[in-house]
Amino acid sequence: MISLLDDIDYEVASHVEQKIVSLGESIIPFLEEEWEETLNSDLQKRIEDLIHSLQFDGLLQRLKNWKERGGQDLVEGMWLVNTYLYPDVELATLSRGLDQLYYDAWTNMKDNMHPYDQVKSLNNSLFRDKKFSANTKNFHSPSNSMMHLALETKRGNPLTLCVIYMTVAQRLGMPVYGVNLPNLFILTYKLGEVQFYINVYNKGLMLSKADIDNYIVQLNLNPVDIFYEPCSNIEIVKRALRNLAFSFEKTNDLEKAAEVTRLLTAITDEDPTV
């Protein structure tokens, strides 16, 4: 049936394509097999476009489902973003990388540590021992938004590094959460009256509220709660998608930028199709 995608009769080819689309992602392995076997470059291109369309539609639905479940699992949300460019990377791959980081950090933790000492210990584990650092040379590369690559290369943008740090911290029992600052994603350690901030992009530099106040003043913005308080997992994944769309815009890949914007719309409350 797949070979009929290139039938000279347009109606036949169109009917076959509609039938394939109706089968969903389960047909992808058969499409890939046909792509490998055919020598027809036009048919190969048609198959490539179909596979991408099927994968994109599946991702769109999985993101909507994730949001409707409350976006409880941040790693799953970041993995879904990851699958836009790397559909074959499994969630288990991210989990294994994070599990190892957690175990290594846990071995350096002691009971009843002061919050500052907890952060210093985790900083040592991630930035000194594991050599995680900011990817300043290729800041706008779409790969910086891919969490599995950040785990592999130990390089990433502020958001991917923060998600890795925050995930490990929370597994260690630390009350560490994301904060949606303009132009820079950071973390906050918040427990009762204790609250301070962590700039993961600057190797876990600890900041006070006054530091955040000064940053907001430098940007000529009015201070609002969102700049100081924890944000939701859904907001973090939204920011990841905005970062990815912006990266594609910077590299002049406007088609991918538009697709990622569609993914963003799918988890935005204003989306009329949700």
Q: How does pLDDT run across 221-259, given as a tens digit for each residue?
A: 999 999 999 999 999 999 999 999 999 999 999 999 999
pLDDT at res. 272: 39
How high is the pLDDT of residue 97?
A: 96
Please, what's the b/e burial string for 8-21 (b: 16 or more CB within 10 A of its CB; e: otherwise)? eeeeeeeebbeebe
pLDDT value of residue 82:
96
Strand residue runs (E) in the chain: 133-134, 155-156, 176-181, 184-191, 194-199, 205-207
Report yes or no: 262 and 244 within 8 Å, Cβ to Cβ. no
**pLDDT tens profile 55-65:** 898 899 999 99
Residue 20's pLDDT is 63
Tokens of 251: 């590299």
Beta bridge partners of 205: 199
DSSP assigned state of 124: I
Label residue 271 by pLDDT band (50, 70, 90). Answer: very low
- Distance, in Å, from the CA atom of 71 to the CA atom of 66, rounded to the nearest integer, reads 5
Higher pLDDT, 251 or 43: 251
pTM: 0.86
Comparing 204 with 39, which gets the higher pLDDT?
A: 204
Domain limits of the chain? Answer: 2-68, 74-266
Least confident of 49-53, 72-76, 80-84, 112-116: 49-53
Tell me what percent of the residues of the chain surpass a pLDDT of 70: 86
